[in-house]
Chain A
């Protein structure tokens, strides 16, 4: 550990200690809205291409909120709604195919939702977020590995918390047939960056 981050940690600890009496009077958990207005949140995916490389893409439109209490992270909860139609893999013809009835069938299932059911801390800001993901009309329980990146006051008078998360989905679980794409495309990795503004 270098000096700067040690100093940073001491500072955070100092500030937290100083604000403890203040926090005691507040509601325990705070509600945050995902900052989609400033777009400080990303829902990205990665799928193998032939087993030789990857296709990267993202869902550009989504919304959600979460409840988070630094002192009691187990009580956290998250709800996110993704506009599946906003899929973008930087190639319109591929997006058209992925959104067609062959795969995501967006006209039939325009939204995907995630509703958390629990959160377990594994220490050092990390944890496992469990919840129900509804995609392609099918709901499956998933676990997202979450890391608390940071949080605090922003320069514009607000208060923010940021997290990143990763999980892997088996597309067949959601009734999406990837057999024509080869065995390496059976799973998709998701990478989520979620920054929330306290309400």
Chain B
């Protein structure tokens, strides 16, 4: 039940997948909403505090997820050869966008050398600071990559539903419950 098999995913993969999905859509909505808030809004400071804390946590989870995936076998992909290739490229792109968003988000907040507090428990130090227009450029990357990730994730979900409903494969089911 822990390890992946040729037929399905183990519990760690399933839990990390849905936690990531929840965090990604939550962070996207929060990020969009909080940047529209007026200065006197009570959430003006609280929004970014949650966004950064959850974002750094998601990064830690993603690193763990990638390591775990590397150590485990990958279940057989469904569909035709071209569908399998497209799925591989799509999944790699999901990870690339995710890492790009996290790197750019980190570069916004650390642009002047400040660290990022994670739930007030500890601080992630700034490593790269003072690049020309760092916060603004990183902010642009953060926004466009986030839009790209959300659109790609919706496509990811749509294709999963297509496998489930039209092809009657267990693509979606095996991401919900481990199959032996």
Where the two chains meet, the residues of A that have a C-beta atom closer than 8 Å to any C-beta of B are 85, 90-93, 95-96, 99-100, 106, 180-182
Contacts and interface: CB of A to CB of B under 8 A. Distances in A.
B135 A180 contact: no
Nearest to A100: B136
Interface in B115-133: 133
Nearest to B132: A85
A180 B38 CA distance: 5
Interface in B98-155: 108-109, 111-112, 114, 133-136, 139
Contacts of A85: 133
A96 B48 CA distance: 14
B40 interface: yes
Nearest to B137: A96
Contacts, number: 32
A181 B111 contact: no
Contacts of B38: 180
Interface of B: 38-40, 108-109, 111-112, 114, 133-136, 139
A181 to B, nearest CB: 5
Contact of A95 (B40, B109, B114, B135): B135
Given A180-B40, A181-B39, A182-B40, 9 more contacts: A91-B114, A92-B108, A92-B109, A92-B111, A92-B114, A92-B134, A93-B109, A95-B135, A100-B136
Contacts of A92: 108-109, 111-112, 114, 134-135
Contact of A96 (B39, B108, B114): B108
Of A85, A90, A95, A96, the most chain B CB neighbours within 10 A belong to A96
Contacts of B133: 85
Nearest 10 CB-CB pairs, A to B? A92-B111, A96-B135, A92-B112, A180-B38, A92-B135, A96-B136, A181-B39, A180-B39, A96-B139, A99-B136
Nearest to A99: B136
A93 B136 contact: no
Contact of A93 (B39, B40, B108): B108
